[in-house]
Amino acid sequence: MLKKLLTVLLVVSASGIASAQDPMFSQFYANPLYLNPAMAGSNGGARIMANYRNQYSNLAGNFSTYMVSYDQNFDALSGGLGFQAFRDQSGGDVYTHQGASMMYSNSLKINRKLYLKTGFQFSLSQKTLNWNQFVFEDQLDPRFGIARPVSQELINFPNNGQTNRLMYDFSAGTMLYSEKYYVGIALHHLTQPNQSLLPGGDSPLFMKYTVHAGMNIEAVKGNFRKPGLTISPNIIYQRQGESQQLNLGMYAQRGPLVGGLWYRTTEGSLIALVGVQTGVFRFGYSYDVIFSALNQAARGSHEFSLGLAFEEVVRSRGRKMAKIKCPTF
């Protein structure tokens, strides 16, 4: 009976994982390398970011994603370098996905006001399914619930109770931008690596398409006494397999304070954001309010970002590349 149950769970788990999508974030521009590899070095100077998302916070064993990144522009390379590491957990430690990426972006000045950045990304990651976290039929007692230890057969299957899949992957992106406008396209998982956790299984990780655009509008001019007000309308469309989402949002910044409001079509959610940016330091918090029936069980999602963004040090006499003036969060 145990072997039959294991087989059924393998198939069900593999099917669920096969249709899984990349983790999603709500502070899109506080995680720029994840949005588009062309944004590596887009700040000019060194930039260090840390991101954490707790999705569907009311569910037991919810989705938690941790991510850290570093990127910087280098004039000698005519572009920027970036590094990113992440860990994504589902159901506690039942299912994990972790890995790291390296990125390079090339900068091209088209004319006095228009610039183009093209980025490339190489990733190495591992997916793990921990069978020791499951509860099987032979552990259950009608009166006492989980009353028996897991069988030795399960502990030894398949590899100390774990199934792993190592994957390598390539992605690319480009951005066209000026002082006020920016538009980008990113293609993740160009190689569509096999992510199946079944021996001999074949389940490609679907390619993810991202199109994002925005603009900066100086609504109120500032002076030395009072900071101005800048608003930034944005749009982001993403598609991966049969899953797609359209995000419509607006940022407003006055002095060190940033506020944002987004609507995500996937689950009918509203994203409220507040951030502080002072000197090299930046901190953001956002909360996703779900309007669909999912809200009754899952509630919302919390997200935090913490970063240091340093100004670029110009050592050459030539003109440096203009920074992409996209939102901070």
Residue 272 lies in a domain: yes
Residue 323 lies in a domain: no
C-beta atoms surrounding 242 within 10 Å: 8
Report the alpha-carbon distance of residue 294 to residue 281 in Å, rounded.
Answer: 35
Residue 316 lies in a domain: no
Query: Which of 4-18, 64-78, 100-114, 179-193 shows the lowest per-residue confidence on average (mean pLDDT)?
Result: 4-18
Residue 116 lies in a domain: yes
Q: Summarize pLDDT for 299-316 with one digit per residue, the tens.
A: 678 999 999 998 876 555
Largest Cα span, the chain: 79
Domain that holds residue 205: 2-309
Residue 166 lies in a domain: yes
Residue 107 lies in a domain: yes
Pair of tokens at residue 52: 């954490």
Q: 49: domain CATH number?
A: 2.40.160.40
Residue 48 lies in a domain: yes
Q: Summarize pLDDT for 194-236 with one digit per residue, the tens.
A: 887 776 778 888 999 999 999 999 888 877 778 888 999 999 9
Residue 326 lies in a domain: no
Pair of tokens at residue 94: 């039942």
Assess contact for 49 and 305: CB atoms under 8 A. yes
pTM exceeds cut of 0.75 = yes
Count of domains forming the chain: 1
